[in-house]
Amino acid sequence: MITVDERGSITSIEAASPDERLPETHPGAVFLPGLVDTHVHYPQTRVKGSASGPLLDWLKATVFPEEAKFADDDYAAAVALEFSAAMIAQGTTTASIYGSPHPAATDILFATLARLGLRAQLGLTLMDRGAPPENLLAAGPALAACEGLIERWHGHDDDRLRFCVTPRFALSCTPQLLRGAADLACAHGLSLQTHLAENDAELRATAAAFPDAADYLEVYESHGLVGERSLFAHCIHLSERNWDRLAERRACVAHCPDSNFFLGSGVMPLQAATSRGVRVGLGTDVGAGRTFSLRRVAARAYDAALLRGAPVTPEALLWLATRGGAEALGLDDRIGLLEPGFDADLCAVDLPTSSRRDPFDALLFNLDAGPVRATYVRGRRLLVDA
Ligand code: GUN
Ligand code: ZN
């Protein structure tokens, strides 16, 4: 029995007596801390699983045309609901989200998350070059739009929603926009997210676009984008020295193995991060990721770790999908543990009785078993209306 106070914090966890009258029960279910998706793209919901990779080809053929559709507010609103519903259905309670390059569509997603009760950090996806004109917004108006979104949403509902500065990646931002993004994050004390070292062709193009930088990470360092509130997705093609620098600056990593397999990007060396104490969470990276299920992503992370010759346990993977994600998002004082004092963000998962002997294996690796029965944030069950 989990009891929750009026603010949604857990007050106790104990066995219920047989005659207890409980407001909600899930007989036979296993309760997990809510899953934390540290990297997901809202405007790619409808192109999830489109096989047009590798990365730069996929962005051009699939992503940019789809993201351009978010200029239409009705389209954006319909997808915002689908996106939120898909996360709730998989037991995700918190996400770090790339919004649309369009301020109105990003505002619509904020409003949808606010209404449905999910916890998130979310940013306008900043891009002022490297894509068709309908996907771009110049640095001045883009940063002004961020200020408006910060004003409207950052800290909403006792900090359930936060704004996160989101330069897409080095190739889609001019130096002026990268610098402006860093200044914005600094001025408001905000988190920042971007992509780093995902794909070979991307690395070559980045080196050509930023000839003064010794490597990809230095592009971000030299524009003031690397610090303890920075979250870098992918991090596949980094040197040992790069990993040292990420650790020294206390930056965080979103590990997105399903996406990395689907786009043929490579295998992130998880151990390079964990052995240095770099905070790591798991990311679905929908739509290069083929699923909103972080349990499936954890299964891919297991495969990836084996390929790297450094196996991980299912317990460690479940930790990454929950507590690790909370740490990477700087929310570990509130979520990621089912303990008194923490917010009651959790999910109830059906687990067949035949799986009870090895529940961690069954939860993560039996891909056919155990649907999510209910998802809660601050003790409130998340339900999607029409
Ligand atoms: N790099 C820049 N944009 C993207 C994106 O949308 N998805 C992935 N996987 N990598 C990116
Ligand atoms: Zn991504």
Atom of ligand 1 nearest to the CA of 198: 10
Task: Quote the tokens at residue 17.
Answer: 């007596």
C-beta of 288 in contact with ligand 1 (< 6 A)? yes
Task: Report the distance separating Cα 238 and Cα 226, nearest Å.
Answer: 15
What pLDDT, on the 0 to 100 scale, is given for residue 355? 77
- pLDDT, mean of residues 332-350: 97
pLDDT confidence bin for 159, thresholds 50/70/90: very high
Q: Count the Cβ atoms, other than its own, within 10 Å of residue 311.
A: 11
Contact 272/240 with Cβ under 8 angstroms?
A: yes
C-beta of 135 in contact with ligand 1 (< 6 A)? no
- pLDDT, mean of residues 155-162: 98
- pLDDT, mean of residues 330-351: 97
Q: Count the Cβ atoms, other than its own, within 10 Å of residue 385.
A: 7
Pocket-testing residue among 125, 169, 203, 256, ligand 1, by greatest number of atoms within 8 A of Cβ? 169
C-beta of 285 in contact with ligand 1 (< 6 A)? yes
C-beta of 286 in contact with ligand 1 (< 6 A)? no
C-beta of 169 in contact with ligand 1 (< 6 A)? yes
pLDDT confidence bin for 367, thresholds 50/70/90: confident
Q: How many whole angstroms from 138 Cα to the centroid of ligand 2?
A: 21
Angle ∠(236,240,245) on CA atoms, nearest 5: 95
**Strand 29-33 versus strand 119-123 pairing type:** unpaired
pLDDT confidence bin for 369, thresholds 50/70/90: confident
Q: How many whole angstroms from 340 Cα to the centroid of ligand 2?
A: 34
Contact 169/202 with Cβ under 8 angstroms?
A: yes
**Which of helix, strand or coil describes residue 106?**
helix
- Percent of the chain with pLDDT strictly greater than 70: 100
What pLDDT, on the 0 to 100 scale, is given for residue 242? 98
pLDDT confidence bin for 35, thresholds 50/70/90: very high
| Neighbouring-strand partners of residue 156 | 161
Residues near 59 by beta carbon (within 8 Å), at least 6 away in sequence:
131
- Whole-number CA gyration radius for the chain: 20
C-beta of 278 in contact with ligand 1 (< 6 A)? no
The residue to which tokens 């939860």 are assigned: 363
Contact 307/297 with Cβ under 8 angstroms?
A: no
Residue with the smallest CA separation from ligand 1 atom 3 is 168
What pLDDT, on the 0 to 100 scale, is given for residue 386? 54
Over the stretch 116-125, which tens digit does the pLDDT of each residue have?
999 999 999 9
C-beta of 139 in contact with ligand 1 (< 6 A)? no
C-beta of 198 in contact with ligand 1 (< 6 A)? yes
pLDDT confidence bin for 7, thresholds 50/70/90: very high
What pLDDT, on the 0 to 100 scale, is given for residue 280? 98
Over the stretch 36-80, which tens digit does the pLDDT of each residue have?
999 999 999 999 999 998 999 999 999 999 999 999 999 999 999
Q: Count the Cβ atoms, other than its own, within 10 Å of residue 218.
A: 15
C-beta of 41 in contact with ligand 1 (< 6 A)? yes
Task: Report the distance separating Cα 346 and Cα 98, nearest Å.
Answer: 23
Pocket-testing residue among 45, 57, 66, 168, ligand 1, by greatest number of atoms within 8 A of Cβ? 168
Atom of ligand 1 nearest to the CA of 171: 2
Task: Report the distance separating Cα 141 and Cα 138, nearest Å.
Answer: 6
Each domain of the chain, given as residue ranges in start order, spans: 2-30+341-381, 32-328
Q: How many whole angstroms from 235 Cα to the centroid of ligand 2?
A: 11
What pLDDT, on the 0 to 100 scale, is given for residue 18? 82
385, pLDDT greater than 90: no
What pLDDT, on the 0 to 100 scale, is given for residue 250? 98
Tell me which fold the domain 32-328 belongs to: TIM Barrel (3.20.20)
